[in-house]
Structure 1
């Protein structure tokens, strides 16, 4: 187990995912603060993460209203946040994460690329943003770090942050539909916890989206990897989207 230090934020695991607000333990990305800067390299070597994030970004930015606001929930080192901004430069792109060290990495990454991002530190179920202020909420490999009660709270807040007609787009571990993919997912469960990952491997994310008030809930794609199945999801906050004058391509 990684070394743990006490802090006034919920526990963070591997990529800085919030696990529970009930404890005040905090575990940085990859377990130790000194390893945070190696996170992108480790993930790139073990998962087709960037390829899947490009698919997620393409899906989320489809028919994006002009002047839209986009939130990367659980933004980590900012790879997806920056990708969203690069693909929709006219959009206001924000990121939210509980780990100040990964936020610093994300901010430096954006500066090197010549972009300014609105990166905030905070809890996914207590976001420092106004309700109804986003057209898209996007999240990558974050929800499997949350216990069920915190998934529910986070999804309820994501729903409230969206304008009517706004969309939630999620890339995360999906249902294991064979003994082989179930076995492949075991290392992830050992590292990130059997409790938080149980909803993912049992295919419970879609019902949780619906429980939070989302409509048109669907799994839009799946890919089997060395460590299990990655799934793409889409859900919509019911209501009519505000009229817009243009689209981002």
Structure 2
């Protein structure tokens, strides 16, 4: 099966090498990533997946804070996987990373206790958003937990204006649903329960929101 077309980090493949730098410049990185890990809150014997591991920065922080946590990652971008593997090796962290074709995740039904994702869904069109959420639902165990950190509904007029920079890079087609606050609708349509926006951080380029839900 051919790999589904995807939007690279920062919108263009040649910019992927500068992704970490862009995040450091435009966002309160330590704050938003550590808050994400707070919400993941790994427990003993939990099997956890990061959907869209990017440059592995979330995994590095999670493993540094919770060294014995069982976390894996999956992504669609071979170039970003190479960057992630280099960083994990440098940090002396061993974590399985998988590539997939953008269609079916390479895991059995009911495989994970928690799945989390950060800054992925705003890069997906409406059909792909729902397909990915359905796949995440499939691989979660009953009552398994979904945690998503991504661009959400702008909390101020300035947040809405500043988000245009993200839209220029990643495309208006994929990002508009996020800034219109529709992530909760997509998560609901994918069959999750107890869905809520649990927190947010205003950054220099938009409102980064945290969502939590559970598999039925």
Deviations 1:29-83 (A, max 9, x none): 56244x433321221111123320110111111xx44221111101111111222
Q: Which of the numbers 41, 61, 68 marks the counterpart of 1:83?
A: 61
Structure with the bigger percentage of helix:
2
Question: What RMSD in Å do the two structures reach over aligned CA positions?
Answer: 1.7
Equivalent position of 2:189 in the other structure: 211
> Deviation per CA, 1:206-238, whole angstroms, max 9, x where unpaired?
111111111111111112111111101111112
The answer on 1:144 being equivalent to 2:122 is yes
Gaps of 5+ in 2: none
Q: 1: CA distance between counterparts of 2:36 and 2:130?
A: 22
1:9 matched to 2:8? The reply is: no
| Contact 1:74/1:124 (8 A) holds in 2 | no
- Per the alignment, residue 74 of structure 1 pairs with 52
- Which structure has the greater CA radius of gyration? 1
Q: Which residue of 2 aligns with 1:101?
A: 79
Contact 2:75 2:98 in 1 (8 A): yes
Cα distance change, pair 183–138 in 1 and its aligned pair in 2 (3 A): same
Q: Which residue of 1 aligns with 2:12?
A: 31
What runs of 5+ residues in structure 1 fail to find an aligned partner? 1-7, 16-28, 239-249
Q: After superposition, what is the alpha-carbon deviation per residue over 1:104-159, rounded to whole angstroms, capped at 9, x for unaligned?
A: 11111111111111101114541111111111101000000000000000001111
How far apart are residue 14 of structure 1 and its match? 4.4
Matches within 5 A, 1:104-115: 104-115=82-93
Give the total of aligned pairs. 215
